[in-house]
A and B are shown apart, each in its own frame.
Chain A
Amino acid sequence: MVPLSYYLVLSGILFACGVLGFLIKRNIITIFMSIELMLNGVNLSFVAFAAHWKVLAGQIFVFFILVVAAAEAAVGLAIIIAVYRTRETLNVDQVNLLKL
């Protein structure tokens, strides 16, 4: 059986990739995908713990996260489309109207 630490390391790598992608990428779509990556990194650690401790709560949590993430993706993609229509770009550095 694969030990717990492997899952957790993978989960950490996934999360770190997400963070890194979020920070360095300029395209909103890519950033959005990085967020999903972070969410799934967390999901992985949840199921890993649930399997390891034989507790169902972790699995159930993952379902909730998936549902919320789906909803979020719907809203987020809608916003991205709206942004693209008005500003004709997906570069976040140019979406800075609220800057002081």
Chain B
Amino acid sequence: MTQNPYLWLIPTLPLAGAAINGFFGRRSSKTAVTTIALVFPALAFALACWIAVSFSSSAAPYVFDLAHWIRSGSFSADFAFYLDQLSLVMMLVVTGVGFLIHIYSVGYMADDPSYYRFFTYLNLFMFFMLTLVLANNYLVMFIGWEGVGLASYLLIGFWFTKDSAASAGKKAFIVNRIGDFGFLIGLFLIIQHFGSLTFTDVFAKVQSLGVESSAGLLTAIGILLMVGACGKSAQIPLYVWLPDAMEGPTPVSALIHAATMVTAGVYMVARSHVIFERAPIALTVVAVIGTLTAFFAATIGITQMDIKKVLAYSTVSQLGYMFMACGAGAFSAGIFHLMTHAFFKGLLFLGAGSVIHSVGGEQDMRKMGGLRSYIPWTFMTMLIATAAIAGIPPLAGFWSKDEILWKAYEANPVYWVIGAITAFITSFYMFRLLFMTFWGDYKGIKVDDHGHAHAAHDHGGHGHGEPHESPMVMLAPLMILALLSLVGGLVGIHNGFEHFLEPVFGSEFPKAIAEPGNTEWLLMGISVLFSVAGLVLAYVLYVSKPYLPEKISASLGAFYDAVVNKYYVDEIYAKIFVKPLVDASTSILWQGVDRKVIDDSVNNAADGARHVSDEVRHMQSGNLRSYAGWIASGAAIVIAYMIWRGVGQ
């Protein structure tokens, strides 16, 4: 353990940016807002790079205690930061990709009236995300965890005057609460049994326990943590919020809902690997959920027509891969894929944003096509990213995906089979996206038709003729990310990445990090073959014989309808969970408890008092003799009573 007094600055810098823009941004000039919004994440990124350069494995982990927070009996939780190889990777990804997306947003959001608000939220998100990855204990991590949820909610609903955006934000927030509930219960279990939430303390105590042969405490904690991860990282059954989250501005989709926040669940599971390694059942749950999600979301991705929705389901599917890796015990492979995914999926979203920008806010791929010649730079970078996610060697996605599939094969060949099929589907739907968007003829409306049905929500202002290339401020981040997608996977050669993370993941169940043998070469060959097959199929269906897809979808009939409608999962959830909940709340809690019990008890008490008073006030008739009569009869009753008592004695 080494002290590193600069650690706390990394999350705090973006917070300062958020505070300045949040308080003064409304009255500042746009240049000032841009400067503040970019300088602070840039400083954080520079500092992160400097810390990374001076990082030495022998001195790790670095820690820094910023302030006391909770001291209660033997329990304590401080505002403390922790940096080891794992959080270093996360920190660099978050600050690096985050900074690039900030730059991109300057171009993308240039015409938005709430420019300053956007960057306030974006900086705030950076703060919470960095808090999450640099936390020294689960409680500080939970602050970041909830904070990124808040930032996500604010940014999904950024155009809150649009009803769909506001309800998508609510949906994301509520679905995440379900996951957070599991996470919190898991934390309570940890406090109860280990008396601490600090990573090093908890893991030291867990290490004294053996591997659980049947479901026990660690299994329970593991599964509860996984419930939290399912919510944040959009896994079955809680993935439904992520596709709707595409209502937010595209840079938000890139930063929060592809590159960083949604990977928080993977990070959390990897961080808790000590617990998971001792709970094989929990690991199996993680792997099964990941594998199913990967496959399930990929199949939905095939049928989507909205360019961002395709990418959203692709993100869900890729996150499934990461969980598959974690579940197979290959945490470093999961983090590796997390990193490469941040590059190419961030790039894909930014590219999609550039495409949407160029065609005036249209998101339906059927109205695009032939954009290759109009926006060559966007096309080039998108091509690289698509090849990367499809797993074409030697791009980034190939290395990480191949490593996951290999590790999954070692754990259980079934995972590998589903994973490989998913790789094929992934390659197919990604090239489908590419071909539909960039090949063929442009099907959009070329003449200036602003103010019509598809008038851009995120692209008002200037008129549209031909699709046009985005400004340099948007293209530069695309190019840098494209470069990273090209070469980012090379750190995985000869297990370089795995060796780097070994101090975190490999210390206690020493599995020799195997060099690829014959099986691995074969598996790699098959998965590359699958990727190419996906490419070829997409080419046949969408470029050479573009009339085929409709025929195929028509022949599939009801099944195709089910997939287009996302297997009706939203509808099923609405029927099973939402509607009963709303109905029960309406009939029992609102009409029953609130109106019948609480309101009525108040109203009836008042009504009763009034009724009694109405009756009793007739005694005060103003007639003097009736008063006297009341007094006389009252006295008579009292006297009669006393006589009766007297006689009784």
Contact of B632 among A23, A92, A100 (CB under 8 A): A23
Give residues of chain A (1-57) contacting chain B, Cβ–Cβ below 8 Å.
19, 22-24, 26, 31
Residues on A with C-beta less than 8 A from B623 are: 92-93, 96, 99
Interchain CB contact (< 8 A) of B622 among A19, A22, A23, A96: A96
Are A99 and B622 neighbours in the complex by a CB distance under 8 Å? yes
Given A23-B629, A23-B632, A92 and B620 touching (CB < 8 A)? no
A85 to B8, CA, bound (A): 91
Residue B624 interfacial (CB < 8 Å): yes
Query: With a CB–CB cut-off of 8 A, which chain B residues contact A96?
Result: 621-624
Report the minimal beta-carbon distance from B99 to chain A, rounded to whole angstroms.
78
Measured CA separation A96–B626 after assembly (Å): 12
Distance from A53 Cβ to chain B, minimum over Cβ atoms (Å): 18
Which of A93, A95, A99 contacts B620, CB < 8 Å? A99
Given the known inter-chain contacts A19-B632, A23-B632, please indicate yes or no for A100 contacting B625, CB distance below 8 A.
no
Interface contact A92-B617, CB-CB below 8 Å: no
Chain B residue nearest in CB terms to A95: B624
Residues of A within 8 A of B621 (CB): 96, 99
- Inter-chain contact A23/B628, CB cutoff 8 Å: yes
The smallest beta-carbon distance between B480 and chain A, in angstroms, is 86
How far does the Cβ of B631 sit from chain A's closest Cβ, in whole Å? 9
Residues 596-640 of B, flagged 1 when their CB comes within 8 A of A and 0 if not, give: 000000000000000000000100111111001100100000000
Q: Mark A61-81, 1 if CB is under 8 A from B, else 0.
A: 000000000000000000000
Least distance between B611 CB and chain A CB atoms (Å): 16
Tell me, rounded to whole Å, the shortest Cβ–Cβ distance linking B102 to chain A: 74
CA distance A93 to B625 in the complex (A): 8
- Quick check: B617 and A100 within 8 Å, CB to CB? yes
Q: Is the CB of A100 within 8 A of B622?
A: yes
Contact assessment for A100 and B620 in the assembled complex, using a CB-CB cutoff below 8 Å:
yes
Complex alpha-carbon distance, A95 and B628, angstroms: 15
Interface of B is mostly: helix
Contact pattern, B 40-81, Cβ under 8 Å of A = 1, otherwise 0: 000000000000000000000000000000000000000000
Q: Nearest-CB distance from A39 to chain B (Å)? A: 14
Q: How far is the CA of A23 from the CA of B636 in the complex (A)?
A: 14
Q: Residue of A at shortest CB range from B629? A: A23
Query: Which A residues are in CB contact (< 8 Å) with B622?
Result: 96-100
- A24 touching B625, Cβ below 8 Å: yes
- A92–B180 Cα gap in the complex (Å)? 78
Q: Complex formed: what's the CA distance from A2 to B629 in Å?
A: 34
Q: Which chain B residue shows the least CB distance to A22?
A: B628
Q: Which residues of B contact A23 (CB under 8 A)?
A: 625, 628-629, 632
CB-based nearest B residue for A19 = B632
Within the complex, what minimum Cβ distance (angstroms) separates A16 from chain B?
Answer: 10
Q: Which residues of A contact B629 (CB under 8 A)?
A: 23
CA distance A23 to B620 in the complex (A): 16
CB distance from B628 to the nearest CB of A (A): 5
Give the CA-CA distance A23 to B629 in the complex, in Å.
7
CA distance A24 to B626 in the complex (A): 10
CA distance A92 to B626 in the complex (A): 11
Q: Which residues of A contact B624 (CB under 8 A)?
A: 31, 92-93, 95-96
Cα–Cα, bound, A26→B625 (Å): 8
A92 vs B627: C-alpha distance when bound (angstroms): 12
Determine the chain A residues whose CB is within 8 A of the CB of B625 once the complex forms.
22-24, 26, 92-93
Question: CA–CA, A24 to B629, complex, Å?
Answer: 10
A32 to chain B, nearest CB (A): 12
Q: How far is the CB of B622 from chain A (nearest CB, A)?
A: 2
Residues of B within 8 A of A93 (CB): 623-625
Q: How far is the CB of A23 from chain B (nearest CB, A)?
A: 5
Nearest Cβ on chain A to B90's Cβ, whole angstroms? 78
CA–CA, A97 and B621, complex, Å = 10
Q: Which B-chain residue is minimally distant from A28 (CB atoms)?
A: B624
Measured CA separation A6–B262 after assembly (Å): 106
CB distance from B393 to the nearest CB of A (A): 97
Distance between Cα atoms of A14 and B489 in the complex (Å) = 119
A24 to B623, CA, bound (A): 12
In the complex, A31→B620 CA distance in Å?
19
The smallest C-beta distance from B613 to any residue of chain A, in angstroms, reads 10
CA–CA, A96 to B622, complex, Å? 5
The answer for the CA separation of A22 and B623 in the assembled complex, in Å, is 12
Q: Measured between alpha carbons, how far is A24 from B624 in the docked complex, in Å?
A: 11
A15 CA to B625 CA in the complex, in Å?
16
**In whole angstroms, how far apart are the Cα atoms of A31 and B624 in the complex?**
10
Give the CA-CA distance A97 to B623 in the complex, in Å. Answer: 10
Nearest neighbor of A20 in chain B, beta-carbon distance: B632
Whole-angstrom distance from the CB of B614 to the nearest CB of chain A?
A: 10
Tell me how far the C-beta of B638 lies from the nearest C-beta in chain A, rounded to whole angstroms. Answer: 14
- In the complex, what's the smallest C-beta–C-beta distance from B634 to chain A, in angstroms? 12
Distance of A34 from chain B, by nearest CB (Å): 9
Q: How far is the CB of A28 from chain B (nearest CB, A)?
A: 9
Q: For residue A19, which residues in chain B have a CB less than 8 angstroms away from its CB? A: 628, 632
5 tightest A-B contacts by CB?
A99-B622, A96-B622, A92-B624, A22-B628, A23-B625
Besides A92-B623, A98-B622, 17 more A-B contacts (Cβ < 8 Å) are: A22-B625, A22-B628, A22-B632, A23-B628, A23-B629, A26-B625, A31-B624, A92-B624, A92-B625, A93-B623, A96-B621, A96-B623, A97-B622, A98-B620, A99-B620, A99-B622, A100-B617
Interface pairs (12), CB distance under 8 Å = A22-B625, A23-B625, A24-B625, A93-B624, A93-B625, A96-B621, A96-B623, A98-B622, A99-B621, A99-B622, A99-B623, A100-B620
